[in-house]
Amino acid sequence: MVPRFPETTIVNLDKLTYAGNLQSLRTIESAPNYTFVHGDICDLDLIQRLFAQYNFTTVVHFAAESHVDRSIHAPIDFVKSNVEGTVSLLQAARAAWSNSDQRQCRFLHVSTDEVFGALGASGKFTIDTHYAPRSPYAASKAAADHFVRAYATTYDLPVVISNCSNNYGPYQFPEKLIPLAIVRALEMAPIPVYSRGENVRDWLHVEDHCEALALMLRQGLNGETYLVGGSGECSNLGLLRLLLTIVDEELDRPAGTSLSLITFVKDRPGHDFRYAIDASKLITELGWEPNHTLAAGLRTTVKWYLANRPWLKAVMDETYRTYLQTQYSV
Ligand SMILES: NC(=O)c1ccc[n+]([C@@H]2O[C@H](COP(=O)([O-])OP(=O)(O)OC[C@H]3O[C@@H](n4cnc5c(N)ncnc54)[C@H](O)[C@@H]3O)[C@@H](O)[C@H]2O)c1
């Protein structure tokens, strides 16, 4: 398979933490314009060597520790990868691009709506919403966003920042709610849900997120921030009702079989009640629109997980199963 942008050389740097998986890259690994490098974004020497070797004009910065629950138990890992790692990339880009025409370069920082904190029953996050992160994960991403803006102001680094709502879709590590529920339903095992499942998230299919990022790369204005969300608001319980109905249909199970596995567990400390995104800037200025409705996107996601059991088996190893048991006591 040839990745999008066939005229572009793509170098994918990843530390392959528990969340990274070479099997997820099988479809592009032999593409002529693609190279994988196993490494850590905190390793400034490595990043500088890669800049010298490939003369990058673009950085799309996805790498992060991303799971809120893990950030509650190991916040320093999040400071390292999300803050120090981001600064290391910024530093290398700044040094490499200082003598080139920076208008040809772009540092796209992929961030989250969680930097804005939590909403009540109404309202949406806008580009004017003040930062108010409430978990160590959100705080580390907020700190990274501030560093990206500081490099733009202080060193004229050509940056664009994206703050996106909750993603779902294929290849997602089954610690996030949707793949976790699918995996547990497949195994007829309890599906842990915090408190009474009333927390609301604004769900977006990962391909719609990536389309938004591609638009920002091509047409986004330097120094700008774009919020990405598909108006897919749903309570966790509402989402699971929709998802598990699809799982039962796809597995030819009696209706309600998977729903009966839902098990309410003690709430996450500081659990943000609601997120919702106002994506009007991205829509009006860059012409973005999501292509997946939540119902259709969930169905293709369920079908993907059912068709990719070897991938699931590989990521559901003993270490992860033990983690699940410790985390949720289920
Ligand atoms: N998943 C979501 O709902 C969502 C929503 C908005 C924004 N984001 C952001 O998108 C990005 C990707 O999220 P995800 O859900 O795919 O995360 P993930 O945790 O599933 O994957 C993170 C990837 O980064 C790699 N990585 C972690 N630390 C690294 C380091 N120090 N050096 C190099 N590689 C490292 C991991 O090996 C893994 O491949 C993150 O920056 C996250 O904050 C995610």
**Is 40 a pocket residue for ligand 1 (Cβ < 6 Å)?**
yes
**Is 141 a pocket residue for ligand 1 (Cβ < 6 Å)?**
yes
Catalytic center residues? 113-114, 137
**DSSP classification of residue 69:** H
- Which atom, in ligand 1's list, is nearest to the CA of 40? 32
End-to-end C-alpha distance for the chain, whole angstroms? 40
User: Residue 266 above 60 pLDDT?
Assistant: yes
Length of the chain: 330
List the beta bridge partners of residue 159.
107
Average pLDDT, the chain: 95
CA-CA-CA-CA dihedral for 59, 65, 66, 70, to nearest 10: 180
**Is 110 a pocket residue for ligand 1 (Cβ < 6 Å)?**
yes
- Residue with CA closest to ligand 1 atom 15: 66
SS3 state at 244: helix
Helix ranges (DSSP H) in 59-135: 68-73, 75-78, 85-97
Predicted pLDDT of residue 6: 79
For the stretch 113-169, pLDDT in tens is 999 999 999 999 999 999 999 999 999 999 999 999 999 999 999 999 999 999 999
- Angle ∠(142,146,147) on CA atoms, nearest 5: 120
- Placement of tokens 């490939």 in the chain: 54
Predicted pLDDT of residue 289: 96
Chain centre distance of CA 64: 9
- Residue with CA closest to ligand 1 atom 20: 19
- Residue with CA closest to ligand 1 atom 7: 112
**Is 142 a pocket residue for ligand 1 (Cβ < 6 Å)?**
no
Please, what's the b/e burial string for 250-274 (b: 16 or more CB within 10 A of its CB; e: otherwise)? eeeeeeeebbebbeeeeeeeeebeb
**DSSP classification of residue 277:** B
- Give mean pLDDT, residues 15-19: 95
**CA 120 to ligand 1 centroid distance, Å:** 27
pTM: 0.96
Do 67 and 323 meet the contact criterion of CB atoms below 8 Å apart? no
What values do phi and psi take at 279, rounded to 5? Answer: -95, 20
Which of 166, 186, 176 lies closest to 302, judged by CA?
A: 186
Which of 38, 62, 225, 315 to mutate to test ligand 1, by most ligand atoms within 8 A of the CB atom?
62
Grade residue 329 by pLDDT with cuts at 50, 70 and 90.
Answer: confident
Which of 47, 66, 80 to mutate to test ligand 1, by most ligand atoms within 8 A of the CB atom?
66
Please, what's the b/e burial string for 132-145 (b: 16 or more CB within 10 A of its CB; e: otherwise)? ebbbbbbbbbbbbb
For the stretch 36-78, pLDDT in tens is 999 999 999 999 999 999 999 999 999 999 999 999 999 999 9
Grade residue 104 by pLDDT with cuts at 50, 70 and 90.
Answer: confident
